[in-house]
Structure 1
């Protein structure tokens, strides 16, 4: 890896460990082995480096969602969704750094128009991927799944022992479907 890539990797780790507000250029320099001037040379400012790292982490999180989808699209849709939930929840543990950075970037996007636009584009990509993979072409299903994923992620990162299981999610979706059906 080059200096730019080292800075980005170190920044992603610092973001996951410390969060946006508590990540300093000294932290990044120490973690990357680069010098302070390299941040200015490659990114211009600390905030631009942090934003780039968060955008990349968000893109990785979106890709993680899409990669967790079962490959067999012809199989039972309920089994496919169940497999998806299990793989996704497992990834919250195995790829915690990516998911933590994703939440951090979502919060920071509220204060950065550039980051908000990039995060919005990533969310649209995620909805489209979920619609294609699990929504049978219905964008409302992709939108609902993305909404559930965001809430599940926050719950899991804060209190994994009390977060909904795939079975809880399936039961809740069945219950919502029954409530949503007009008489």
Structure 2
């Protein structure tokens, strides 16, 4: 493994162990067993390295989630039940990746997020929207419908994750998500 790969692996460990704001350049270099100058050489800054590591961690979670959701449901499963089952699997995956989600919220809340980092995170968010539209509803054509569906799923995902991080005992289940959406849709569509 080269310095760049070592830095990314070390940055992920630091994110999980110390969080975004408390991870120093010294922590990153030590975790990767490289010089502090290697961070600047390979990534330009501490923030760029941490955000790259965070984006990779999110992508890894997305891949793990996709595998989790590949479990087939019987063909006669009603759409609402299938939707609830998918959401329940997503919610269950939070426990395995709790630190990653806590760090994601922490990183996004940094008041001095520079424009390059913001752009990098915005690009990752757009990829997530496409992935969610495909994952939940098989939409992968880049259409306005796919983007709308992905955007709503991303909003649901972020909101459910935040609730789960703060108060997992009262966070919604997959069935709760479907029930709430049904009530909202009845109000909006009537």
Alignment: residue pair count: 182
C-alpha separation in 1, matches of 2:14 and 2:106: 11
Gaps of 5+ in 2: 140-144
Quote how far apart the aligned CAs of 1:24 are: 0.6
* Stretch moving more, 32-41 or 69-78: 69-78
**Counterpart-to-counterpart distance in 2, 1:119 and 1:60:** 15
Which residues of 2 match residues 27-176 of structure 1 at below 5 A?
27-70=27-70, 72=72, 75=75, 76=77, 77-108=79-110, 111-135=113-137, 137=139, 138-139=145-146, 140-176=148-184
1:11 and 2:11 correspond: yes
Segment of structure 1 superposing worse, 54-63 or 19-28: 54-63
Q: TM-score, normalised by structure 1?
A: 0.82
Q: Which residue of 1 aligns with 2:142?
A: none
After TM superposition, give the deviation of residue 136 of structure 1 in Å: 6.0
Unaligned runs of 5+ in 1: none
Change (3 A) 1:61 1:160: same
Question: Is 1:70–1:80's contact at 8 Å kept on the other side of the alignment?
Answer: no
Displacement after TM superposition at 1:152 (Å) = 0.7
Q: CA deviation at 1:151?
A: 0.6
Q: Deviations over 1:71-126 (max 9, x none)?
A: 54884333332222122112111122332333233324972222222222222222
Q: Root-mean-square deviation (CA), in Å?
A: 2.6
Q: 1:68 to 1:110 in 2, by over 3 A?
A: farther
